[in-house]
């Protein structure tokens, strides 16, 4: 199969767009979509610091490479990459090594936040102490909190996340299926600045996971392929499969879900908005509850040790 824009062999088909692309045109197309989303999600970013969450996987590695390229001609913008070490044996050390390799290659400052020292508990320890709880529920909450704190400490105006189209479409569908409209609105990309929260943006939002993978591979971007050993229990896996099936039957479903979220947010904004979160009474982080979920999970993990 040939590329839709040149005579080269295609490396990816895009049923939602009705075309095929070669490696070169895939790269250009991803960069275009990234730029468009950057301009839309962060229109006023002319100077200051931008933090990029870097796990060491393909998505965040690509997000860092493209963010650096985007701000290349703007020396007034400084980048800092932030990685969180949740303490997951057999997974995180190799992804962190790739994150270090990439930041050294790009000459970007790299900060690593360790859950063990920041929270007093690692994801692996919490998995042992909280048997019945899906690991991603506490791990994801902790990582979000640590990334926000580190971005605040770095005095960043923005936090760039590597979420791709598949990630976001899965999250939207999950939140809809759980009737959690408030969470749907709190998802990245953030439209407004909220007290205590560095606005999170997702400039790869319209790019499917597979295209990012092929692009990163074709361009020699250092990233780690390993999968988290705790990911198997995640409910997200079911939504991933459902979406693959839907996308096969009706290409463009993932893009439609993104638009659905935007439409709901527009409608609610016109009706007075979602309301600002208040603060957690224990740690002071922005929270919609009196005690934030990060503190709830930390308390449960600590109580489990006492009970042993």
Closer of 88 and 285 to ligand SF4 (Cβ): 88
Examine residue 25 and tell whether it contacts Zn ion (CB under 5 A). yes
Rounded Cα distance between 172 and 165, Å, is 11
Question: Following DSSP, what letter does each residue of 205-266 receive, concatenated?
Answer: TTS-HHHHHHHHHHTT--------TTGGG-THHHHHHHHHHHHHHSTTHHHHHHHHHHHHHH
112 binds ligand SF4 (CB under 6 A): no
Shorter beta-carbon distance to Zn ion: residue 65 or 285 = 285
Q: What are phi and psi of 147, to 5 degrees?
A: -65, -40
292 binds Zn ion (CB under 5 A): yes
201 binds, among Zn ion, ligand SF4, none (CB under 5 to 8 A by kind): none
**Residues binding ligand SF4: what is the number (CB under 6 A)?**
11
Q: Tokens for 174?
A: 């999950």
In the region spanning residues 47 to 106, those forming contacts with ligand SF4, defined by CB under 6 A, are 86, 88
User: Cβ 188 to Zn ion, closest distance in Å?
Assistant: 20
3 binds, among ligand SF4, Zn ion, none (CB under 5 to 8 A by kind): Zn ion
**Nearest-approach distance from CB 286 to ligand SF4, in angstroms:** 20
**231 binding ligand SF4? (CB under 6 A):** yes
The radius of gyration of the chain from alpha carbons, rounded to an integer in Å, stands at 20
Cβ nearer to Zn ion, comparing 8 with 104: 8
Does 228 bind ligand SF4 (CB under 6 A)? Our answer is yes
Cβ at position 2, least distance to Zn ion in Å: 8
> What DSSP designation does 291 have?
S
Q: From the CB of residue 136, how many other CB atoms can be counted at a distance below 10 Å?
A: 17
* 22 lines the binding site for Zn ion (CB under 5 A): yes
Closest of 12, 107, 124, 110 to residue 56, by C-alpha: 110
Kindly state whether residue 118 participates in binding ligand SF4, applying the rule CB under 6 A.
no
Q: Is the dihedral of CA 308, 290, 141, 255 positive or negative?
A: positive
Q: What are phi and psi of 84, to 5 degrees?
A: -110, 130
| CA dihedral for 89, 94, 97, 98, sign (positive or negative) | negative
Question: At closest approach, how far in Å is the CB of 131 from ligand SF4?
Answer: 14
Among 112, 136, 181, 283, binds ligand SF4 (CB under 6 A): 136
Q: Among residues 82 and 295, whose Cβ is nearest to Zn ion?
A: 295
140 binds ligand SF4, rule: CB under 6 A? yes
What distance lies between CA 241 and its chain's CA centroid?
Answer: 19
Dig out the tokens for 286 from the structure: 């922005």
CB-CB contact of 102 with 222 (8 Å): yes
- Cβ 127 to ligand SF4 shortest distance, Å: 8
Q: Please state, in angstroms and rounded to a whole number, the distance separating the CA atoms of residues 111 and 123.
A: 19
> Would you state the structure tokens that stand for residue 164, as one six-digit string?
């791709």
Binding stretches for ligand SF4 (CB under 6 A): 86, 88, 123, 135-136, 139-140, 228, 230-231, 234
Binding stretches for Zn ion (CB under 5 A): 3, 5-6, 8, 22, 25, 280, 282-283, 285, 292, 295
């Amino acid at each position: 199969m040939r590329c839709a824009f040149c005579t080269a062999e295609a490396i990816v088909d895009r049923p939602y767009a009705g075309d095929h692309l070669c490696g070169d045109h895939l790269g250009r197309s991803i960069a275009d979509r990234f730029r468009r989303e950057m301009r839309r999600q962060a229109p006023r970013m002319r100077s200051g610091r931008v933090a990029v969450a870097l796990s060491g996987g393909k998505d965040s590695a690509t997000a860092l490479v493209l963010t650096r390229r985007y701000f290349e001609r703007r020396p007034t913008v400084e980048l800092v990459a932030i990685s969180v070490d949740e303490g997951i044996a057999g997974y995180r050390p190799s992804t962190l090594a790739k994150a270090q390799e990439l930041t050294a290659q790009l000459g970007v400052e790299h900060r690593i936040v360790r859950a063990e020292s920041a929270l007093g508990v690692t994801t692996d320890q919490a998995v042992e102490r909280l048997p019945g709880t899906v690991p991603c529920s506490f791990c994801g909450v902790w990582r979000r909190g640590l990334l926000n704190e580190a971005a605040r400490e770095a005095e960043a105006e923005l936090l760039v996340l590597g979420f791709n189209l598949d990630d976001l479409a899965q999250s939207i569908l999950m939140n809809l299926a759980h009737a959690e409209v408030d969470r749907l609105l709190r998802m990245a990309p953030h439209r407004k600045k909220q007290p205590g929260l560095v606005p999170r943006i997702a400039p790869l939002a319209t790019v499917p996971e597979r295209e990012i993978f092929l692009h990163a591979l074709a361009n020699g971007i250092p990233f780690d392929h390993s999968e988290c050993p705790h990911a198997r229990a995640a409910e997200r896996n079911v939504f991933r499969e459902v979406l693959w099936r839907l996308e096969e039957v009706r290409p463009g479903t993932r893009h439609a879900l993104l638009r659905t979220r935007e439409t709901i947010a527009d409608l609610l904004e016109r009706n007075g908005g979602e309301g600002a979160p208040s603060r957690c009474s224990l740690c002071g982080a922005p929270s919609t509850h009196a005690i934030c979920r990060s503190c709830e999970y930390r308390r449960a993990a600590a109580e489990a040790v006492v009970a042993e």
